[in-house]
Structure 1
Amino acid sequence: MLRKFTVTNYKNFQGTVCMDFTDVRKYDFNTQCVKNGLLNKALVLGKNGIGKTNLGLALFDISYTLTENMVNPLQVMPESFLNAYSNERFATFEYEFQQGNDIIVYTYRKNTPTNIIYESMSVNGENIFKRDGSSISNYDGLKKLGLESLQVRVSNGSLAVLRFIYNNTVSKPDSPITFVMNFVSRMLYFRSTQDGNAYIGFKSGGESIENYILSHNLVSEFQAFLKDTAGLKIELQKKNVPGMQDYLVQKFKNRIIVFNTIASSGTKALMLLFYWMKHFGNVSFLYMDEFDAFYHYDLAENVLKLIMNDDSYQAILTTHNTDLVDNNLMRPDCYLILTESGLRSMPERTLRELREGHNLRKLLRGGEFDE
């Protein structure tokens, strides 16, 4: 699991922003939010333009750095990579993972989206490798992993040492190298906007969601999902036309209509969620940006509960919807507020002892957690 993520001097984050999953408080309700002593589900709130999307892009920079999985164009734009107000010439990314009882720290710095100028990895405080530019390196710690014979040949910053080691060795299944690479390769970010759907990580390439549902014979299941989640009572069918690609239609009393032409933005967002839910069993970390942008508040609650009740992956959801701030849904340490000063949970933002009976929404709107 991911214990902590820290980023500095990236996009609109001039200072350091830390997402700390170890900041678990002693609440005895909504315990499904916590797993192995770490936050497993959290909701990030923040004003427009504060950086909720950039937080996701920062967190998923490691996916671009270590894998060939899907990349968002915003991740690789050199002109907006570093903070425009800072004099620093590089951005720093630090990921702290928990593998059983071991703590793995992987850190790197970049001066462009594609150029690594520093990289290091440690396990329980013991160095595994360190590269500082192209002149200073220390790979002695590889002996601890039985990789003392490996000749690390990384001549420029476009290739991560961690990726080189993984691709050029047969690592043990319990190796920290294997653990990090497997975790990162299964990270997923997605969002639905008026401009269309976008995702980062997990796999590469695009796919028609409608074709996926049809080819996997999921029409009935998708129809039931819409009813159970959003209360939509509609009848869907697979339409076969000789010589043409199959498509999804909605059946009415007197006619059928192509589903994609009449589905609302919210229904299409649910279609996207349904598609990715079919992959959640292989996901390690999920980031759903503006997850409820097209949802009614009741539907937003239902979707949040769906994510909450699946403990097989860690998840961060971002929103503007303060109606979701409720101890009946989550708990104070799982509500993270992003401001210009950083990302902190509700308990960190007040001297008040927050309890199950508190109306968190009322406190939030009343300015209890303001700076």
Structure 2
Amino acid sequence: MLYQFEVSGFKSFNEKFSFRLDGAKEYSFNREAVRNDVIKTGIVYGVNGIGKSNLGLALFDIIFHITQGFESNSAYTSNYLNLESKNDYAEFSYLFRFDEHYLKYTYRKKSLKEILFEEIQIDGETVASINKVESGTMFCSLSGADTLKTDLSETNIKSIVSYINTNAALDHRDSKNKTFQKFIEFVEKMLFFRSIEGNRYMGYEPEPRAISIDIIENGNLEDFEDFLNKAGISCKLCSIDKEDGKPTIAFDFGEKKLAFWTGASTGTKSLALYYYWMQRLRVDEDSASLVFIDEFDSFYHHELSAAVVEQLKKIKSQVILTTHNVSVMSNEILRPDCYFVMSKTEVSPLYLKTSKELREAHNLGKMYKAGSFNG
């Protein structure tokens, strides 16, 4: 699981910004929101423009050089570096915990495509590193990596992490190698999606798949219809063929049909995206490692928002949500160590934002509106 994260010099993050998920308290309620003393399901609040979306982008920068290559992504290619930073690079640091072992991965980038420095530590010991500013020589002490070429100065290798993972014959009986492999698997299964500004996602699947085709071909059309009806959207669905012969979902009005993506409201389209991913996330063996949903309930009624959080608590994935919806800030849904308030320098759980001892009976949403967590 992701334990801690730090970033600086990236987009809106000038100085070092910290996000810690290791601050679980001993609350006796909603225990499923925490796993092994790490926050499993968390919700981040913050004023407009504070950087909640940029937090998601910062967290997912890692996927572009470990799992997906350097593909173009407009969210990253525009204003990658913070304009006020004294450094000409952005620095990212991730601390993961896998069983009882810790892996820390730190790197610096000049742009999405240009890595200047990388270091991997496992249980406090540096096992791989490179500083391209000083030299192009890689250090790696992982068992089975001794045959790798270490002078990378004349190569087009961007990341030593993907280089080691792809080319080294690592001994998987070695505990450090096992931790390294779990790290790779975690990053490969990270998922970011949002429905504002269009249905977009990053990570988890290398190729996007049309939502309609996926629902129809997997035999989920009736289940999707039931899902929408339970969400308060009364409708009957069917499958029709588009002009290119490919199937798509439509609203069924008897003799007349209306293409789903033409007739659906913005909120209904958002639910379709959520349904698409939940078909995968609720299957443990295929579930994502970390799910970040930006403005997860922008188009939802508050009761639907609460129902979505309840569903996400049950899946295996570690989940981070951003929202402005205070109606889901309730001890009936999560707990004070799972709700976070974002500032320019950190994301802090509610219990650190007040001198009061927060208990199950407290109305967290009311306290938030009253400014109790502005400290």
State TM-score, norm by structure 2.
Answer: 0.91
- Equivalence for 1:4: 4
Identity fraction in percent: 32
- Equivalence for 2:251: 250
How much does 1:114 deviate?
1.6
- Equivalence for 2:235: 234
How much does 1:238 deviate?
1.7
What are the equivalent positions in structure 2 for 1:324-335 lying under 5 Å apart? 324-335=328-339
Preserved CA contact (<8 Å) 1:24 1:333: yes
- Equivalence for 2:303: 298
- Equivalence for 2:192: 189
- Given residue 159 of structure 2, which amino acid in structure 1 is its aligned partner? A
Preserved CA contact (<8 Å) 2:19 2:346: no
Distance 1:171 1:290 in 2: 40
- Equivalence for 1:150: 148
With 65-74 and 99-108 compared, the bigger mean Cα shift is at 65-74
Q: Summarize the Cα distance change of 1:340–1:240 in structure 2 as closer, same or farther, 3 Å threshold.
A: closer
What are the equivalent positions in structure 2 for 1:22-41 lying under 5 Å apart? 22-41=22-41
- Equivalence for 1:84: 83
Can you give the 5+ residue segments of structure 2 that lack an aligned partner in the other structure?
Answer: none
Partner deviation per Cα, 1:203-247 (whole Å, 9 max, x = no partner) = 23332111111222211111121123x133322112358983323
Preserved CA contact (<8 Å) 1:154 1:161: no
- Equivalence for 1:177: 180
Preserved CA contact (<8 Å) 2:267 2:299: yes
Preserved CA contact (<8 Å) 2:33 2:40: yes
Distance 2:242 2:108 in 1: 54
* Partner SS for 1:340: coil
Preserved CA contact (<8 Å) 1:114 1:158: no
- Equivalence for 2:368: 364
- Equivalence for 2:218: 216
Distance 1:291 1:3 in 2: 22
Preserved CA contact (<8 Å) 1:116 1:158: no
* Partner SS for 1:96: strand
Distance 1:41 1:51 in 2: 20
Distance 1:368 1:341 in 2: 19
In the alignment, structure 1 residue 126 sits paired with structure 2 residue 125: yes
Distance 1:268 1:64 in 2: 27
- Equivalence for 1:316: 320
Aligned residue pairs total 364
In the alignment, structure 1 residue 107 sits paired with structure 2 residue 106: yes
How much does 1:270 deviate?
0.7
Partner deviation per Cα, 1:322-349 (whole Å, 9 max, x = no partner) = 1111110110110011122321111111
Distance 1:36 1:343 in 2: 20
Q: Summarize the Cα distance change of 1:180–1:25 in structure 2 as closer, same or farther, 3 Å threshold.
A: same
Distance 2:89 2:243 in 1: 57
Preserved CA contact (<8 Å) 1:45 1:337: yes
What are the equivalent positions in structure 2 for 1:12-91 lying under 5 Å apart? 12-68=12-68, 72-77=73-78, 80-91=79-90
* Partner SS for 1:14: coil
Preserved CA contact (<8 Å) 2:116 2:131: yes
Which stretches of structure 1, 4 residues or more, deviate above 4 A after TM superposition?
240-243
Distance 1:282 1:359 in 2: 33
Q: 2:312 aligns with which of 300, 307, 316?
A: 307
- Equivalence for 1:97: 96
- Equivalence for 1:166: 165
- Equivalence for 2:351: 347
Preserved CA contact (<8 Å) 1:91 1:111: yes
Distance 2:259 2:251 in 1: 6
Preserved CA contact (<8 Å) 1:116 1:157: no
How much does 1:71 deviate?
5.9
Preserved CA contact (<8 Å) 2:193 2:292: yes
Preserved CA contact (<8 Å) 2:129 2:140: no
Q: Note the aligned Cα RMSD (angstroms).
A: 2.0
State TM-score, norm by structure 1.
Answer: 0.92
Can you give the 5+ residue segments of structure 1 that lack an aligned partner in the other structure?
Answer: none
Q: Summarize the Cα distance change of 1:243–1:127 in structure 2 as closer, same or farther, 3 Å threshold.
A: closer
Q: 1:338 aligns with which of 330, 335, 342?
A: 342
How much does 1:43 deviate?
0.2
How much does 1:7 deviate?
0.7
Distance 1:309 1:181 in 2: 24
Partner deviation per Cα, 1:30-51 (whole Å, 9 max, x = no partner) = 0011012211010001111110
What are the equivalent positions in structure 2 for 1:274-285 lying under 5 Å apart? 274-280=275-281, 281-285=286-290
Q: Summarize the Cα distance change of 1:349–1:242 in structure 2 as closer, same or farther, 3 Å threshold.
A: closer
